[in-house]
Structure 1
Amino acid sequence: MYEDFASKLAATMWADFDETPRRADGPPAEITDLNTMVIDGNFPWTIVTVETDKGVTGIGEAYPSPGVHEIITDYLRPVLVGENPTDVERLYNLMRESLSGRGSQEGVGTIAISGVELALWDATGKLLDQPVYQLLGGKVREEVAVYADCHAGEAMVESAKEGQEEETYEPEAYAKAARAAVEDGFDIVKFDLDVPSGREIDTLSRHFDPAEIDHKERVVAAVMEEIGDDAEIAVDLHWNFSPETAERLCRALEPYDLAWIEDPLPPENTDAMRELKRRVNATILTGENRYGRHGFRDLIEDQAVDFLAPDVPKTGGIAETKKIADMAEAYYQALVPHNIGSPVATAATAHVGATVPNFVALEYHAREVPWWEDLLARETDFIQNGRIQIPDSPGLGIELDWDVVEQHRKE
């Protein structure tokens, strides 16, 4: 009798194991197509769409990169069509496996996967009638701060258009751009410091002489004098300096108590970054050229920087960025995500910021694009007074105005 019961139990367990797991009422939808289009903004914003058989379309965005369209349509589309779009974690790993050996760990492969992942979250939220932040565990804040990247601010762009390029990178132009951003309500403004000074220098050496250091300091001093305590000031060095130059520049800027100094060294060498942080009294930020939690692990474990800057549609997507934030929280590091995208990438980053405690601000890099807000089908601006109120609508909580998209679509 015992043997009969055991054999029946084993047979039942094997049958359950052998059967593909399904929800009681079946999957809520199936993916029918994936595609991309490019909006011709200040960067080529690559919009990704995931179509489903329920009439729901998920909208995502991939970081601007050649080859993204081909990877999504030629490699990822055959893998995902017919799959359940709400199984985001499984499909993320499926995409990585399908591109194994073709760049799924970093680079353009990860970028393509990131764009699809954003669209999957948007589709899932719409199908389940929940905002993405709720699917990630809920909000820890109602709004996220946004900082203004001003290196292409109005003052500099207009002066360049008027044939005054030699004045574009002078301290006074930065001060005017900073004041304009502060008047728009931003509490943090950022400028590039790896910019021409009017002198001929050998940039390949990554070395700056004292006169170049002085030019960068004068830029910061002019901005500080203009806005004072009205906003914090950050600067971006774009990986263009050697350790000795980065150290001298950081020391020259120490009196200004900057919000952060971004990417002072090339992105590959964590040891060099940690040593620089040890030697200077400055808040150091990096991360836009790292991919996934594995790419951030040594930065976090070695505490090589203060702030981390993953780019959501580049580093792996929404869930992967949240995992990076969770790792960083264990070491008391904060997120300041990189973002050069359209409102789609911006909304996705805002949902991450709503769900993790160690979030400072996300980047807004399109102040010179007057129709950026027009891309959204909504009555009010998405960014108001340097803040984004987290949308409560299903998915990412935004919808594109496809007529405006078509006006700025790039073939």
Structure 2
Amino acid sequence: MYTDFAARLATSIWPDFDQTPARSTETPAITDVETVVIDGNFPWTIVTVETDAGVTGIGEAYPSPGVHEVITDFFGPVLEGENPLDVERLYHLMREALSGRGSQDGIGTIAISGVELALWDAAGKILDQPVYQLLGGKMREEVRMYADCHAGEGMVESALNEGEAHGVYKPEAYARAARAAVDDGFESIKFDLDVPSGREIDTISRHFDSPEIEHKRRLVEAVTDEVGAEAEVAVDLHWNFSSDAARKLCHALESYDLAWVEDPLPPENGDAMATLNRSVEQPLLTGENRYGRHGFRDLVEQEAVSFVAPDIPKTGGIAETKKIAELADTYYMTLAPHNIGSPVATMAGVHVGATVPNFLALEFHARDVPWWDDLVAREEPLIQDGYIEVPDTPGLGIELDWDVVEEHRA
């Protein structure tokens, strides 16, 4: 009633007043959705969303078999003709289109995530704004990275030198890798502890006896002795320990003041994680195998961890990760996203990290890929002294060098 009166009043004062909301006559539309896989230390699945606005959005989906077919064969026809600026609506459209066929987690959510990243990039380019601005603005000028140091020496080199794998899991190798990462400017580093000790054990049981626990302790001791207060040190267990073994290991590592212990238990049981969290002193981190904010609800409500680590191109994308961060912040938990991706997924993490208050650091998992920076069409490295500057350029803030992409195409 009030709005009708206001409209009549406006018309009486300004005869040409039109109460119909102004709309652009040139709404952009999606014309094509494609993928290309780069053969990095993981198969990085790059997603491109073409538009009739002369803009191409780039995104990335978590490495997964079959994700290419879901994106191109299924989502391509669903999204063709849609407005790329309607990122949240298209996210729900993709979930509804795949409803009952895996849209809640797994490969369906991974495919949706990859397209969602590309939509944000396209929207930012069309509106001439960086993604962080579309998310509400930035809280920090640069984003801290933490270096995953892979078990002492390069993951790629370990795979190539098959009979020498045991040799890389020694304290002195860990210390060397820690020193190299810190000398590169990283203030936070992480190492795997679910690694062979040279002894024959039944790993399927998830039980680790005292010599195995001692092997892990010596690895941590070597790293912390080497870097001292120069960097925070975290460790990753990759879900390979039982509750009893994880508890014993955590107790053995109490004196080393670790930043966190990652994925000490399999990812499905939040109750078990909460029980472990109450029985150990170290902060726990998990989340890379959880999907969407609903997948993090039990971890947050039970205060099962201190850090949540969603993988942005896996858990639902940029907006969903921001919602996970906001959920975690209601319990004063910290966000430290998992990231094994190319510069595209990494920049998506940068924009999320720039916009949420409870962000700590984003993982960098490609120190063994010498051409990682070459994928980006710019002269300077993205990561400098352990940080990435939040870009003010439109979209995600980078463009790929497609000649380099083609050179390393899987």
Shared fold by TM > 0.5?
Answer: yes
Q: Is 1:354 matched with 2:349?
A: no
From the superposition, tell whether residues 164 and 322 of structure 1 become closer, same or farther in structure 2 (CA, over 3 Å).
Answer: same
Contact 1:28 1:127 in 2 (8 A): no
Q: Which residue of 2 aligns with 1:130?
A: 129
From the superposition, tell whether residues 268 and 91 of structure 1 become closer, same or farther in structure 2 (CA, over 3 Å).
Answer: same
Amino acid at match of 2:133: Q
Amino acid at match of 2:390: I
Contact 2:185 2:385 in 1 (8 A): yes
Shift of 1:74: 1.5
Q: Which residue of 2 aligns with 1:33?
A: 32
Supply the distance in 2 between the matched residues of 1:262 and 1:313 (Cα, whole angstroms): 19
Mean CA deviation greater in 116-125 or 158-167: 158-167
Supply the distance in 2 between the matched residues of 1:27 and 1:312 (Cα, whole angstroms): 31
Contact 1:312 1:348 in 2 (8 A): yes
Contact 2:152 2:175 in 1 (8 A): no
Supply the distance in 2 between the matched residues of 1:314 and 1:305 (Cα, whole angstroms): 20
Shift of 1:28: 3.2
Supply the distance in 1 between the matched residues of 2:152 and 2:340 (Cα, whole angstroms): 14
Supply the distance in 2 between the matched residues of 1:349 and 1:140 (Cα, whole angstroms): 14
Alignment root-mean-square deviation, CA = 1.8
* Structure 1 residues 217-228: aligned runs within 5 Å: 217-228=217-228
Q: Which runs of 4+ in 1 moved over 6 A?
A: none
From the superposition, tell whether residues 156 and 97 of structure 1 become closer, same or farther in structure 2 (CA, over 3 Å).
Answer: closer
Supply the distance in 2 between the matched residues of 1:396 and 1:345 (Cα, whole angstroms): 9
* Structure 1 residues 61-80: aligned runs within 5 Å: 61-80=60-79
Contact 2:151 2:193 in 1 (8 A): no
Amino acid at match of 1:241: F
Supply the distance in 2 between the matched residues of 1:251 and 1:308 (Cα, whole angstroms): 22
Q: Which residue of 2 aligns with 1:56?
A: 55
Q: Which residue of 1 aligns with 2:102?
A: 103
Contact 1:375 1:400 in 2 (8 A): yes
Q: Which residue of 1 aligns with 2:13?
A: none
Q: Which residue of 2 aligns with 1:379?
A: 379
TM-score, with structure 2 as normaliser: 0.93
Shift of 1:27: 5.1
From the superposition, tell whether residues 155 and 340 of structure 1 become closer, same or farther in structure 2 (CA, over 3 Å).
Answer: closer
Q: Which residue of 2 aligns with 1:15?
A: none
* Structure 1 residues 304-323: aligned runs within 5 Å: 304-323=304-323
Q: Which residue of 1 aligns with 2:179?
A: 179
Segments of structure 1 that go 5 or more residues without pairing to the other structure are: 10-20
TM-score, with structure 1 as normaliser: 0.93
Supply the distance in 1 between the matched residues of 2:158 and 2:68 (Cα, whole angstroms): 36
Shift of 1:166: 3.1
From the superposition, tell whether residues 156 and 372 of structure 1 become closer, same or farther in structure 2 (CA, over 3 Å).
Answer: closer
Supply the distance in 2 between the matched residues of 1:27 and 1:271 (Cα, whole angstroms): 52
Supply the distance in 2 between the matched residues of 1:405 and 1:161 (Cα, whole angstroms): 23
Supply the distance in 2 between the matched residues of 1:25 and 1:52 (Cα, whole angstroms): 16
Supply the distance in 2 between the matched residues of 1:275 and 1:316 (Cα, whole angstroms): 28
Q: Which residue of 1 aligns with 2:87?
A: 88
Supply the distance in 2 between the matched residues of 1:369 and 1:339 (Cα, whole angstroms): 14
- What per-residue deviation string (whole Å, max 9, x for no partner) do you get for residues 341-373 of structure 1? 000000001000000000000000000000000
From the superposition, tell whether residues 160 and 340 of structure 1 become closer, same or farther in structure 2 (CA, over 3 Å).
Answer: closer
Secondary structure of the corresponding residue to residue 230 of structure 2: coil
Contact 1:27 1:84 in 2 (8 A): no
Contact 2:154 2:368 in 1 (8 A): no
Shift of 1:156: 7.4
Secondary structure of the corresponding residue to residue 358 of structure 1: coil
Contact 1:156 1:173 in 2 (8 A): no
Contact 1:156 1:174 in 2 (8 A): no
Supply the distance in 1 between the matched residues of 2:22 and 2:211 (Cα, whole angstroms): 67
Secondary structure of the corresponding residue to residue 409 of structure 1: coil
Supply the distance in 1 between the matched residues of 2:396 and 2:330 (Cα, whole angstroms): 27
Secondary structure of the corresponding residue to residue 241 of structure 1: coil
Shift of 1:187: 0.4
Q: Which residue of 1 aligns with 2:392?
A: 392
Supply the distance in 2 between the matched residues of 1:334 and 1:156 (Cα, whole angstroms): 28
* Structure 1 residues 127-206: aligned runs within 5 Å: 127-151=126-150, 154=153, 164-206=164-206
Secondary structure of the corresponding residue to residue 60 of structure 2: strand
Supply the distance in 1 between the matched residues of 2:21 and 2:171 (Cα, whole angstroms): 62
Supply the distance in 2 between the matched residues of 1:375 and 1:266 (Cα, whole angstroms): 34
Shift of 1:160: 7.4
From the superposition, tell whether residues 32 and 166 of structure 1 become closer, same or farther in structure 2 (CA, over 3 Å).
Answer: same
Supply the distance in 2 between the matched residues of 1:393 and 1:184 (Cα, whole angstroms): 26
Identity %: 73
- What per-residue deviation string (whole Å, max 9, x for no partner) do you get for residues 87-115 of structure 1? 00000000000000011000000000000
Supply the distance in 2 between the matched residues of 1:67 and 1:166 (Cα, whole angstroms): 33
Shift of 1:167: 1.7
Secondary structure of the corresponding residue to residue 174 of structure 1: helix
Supply the distance in 1 between the matched residues of 2:272 and 2:155 (Cα, whole angstroms): 33
Secondary structure of the corresponding residue to residue 248 of structure 2: helix
Amino acid at match of 1:45: W
Q: Which residue of 1 aligns with 2:262?
A: 262
- What per-residue deviation string (whole Å, max 9, x for no partner) do you get for residues 266-294 of structure 1? 00000000000000101000000000000
Shift of 1:25: 1.5
Contact 1:258 1:282 in 2 (8 A): yes
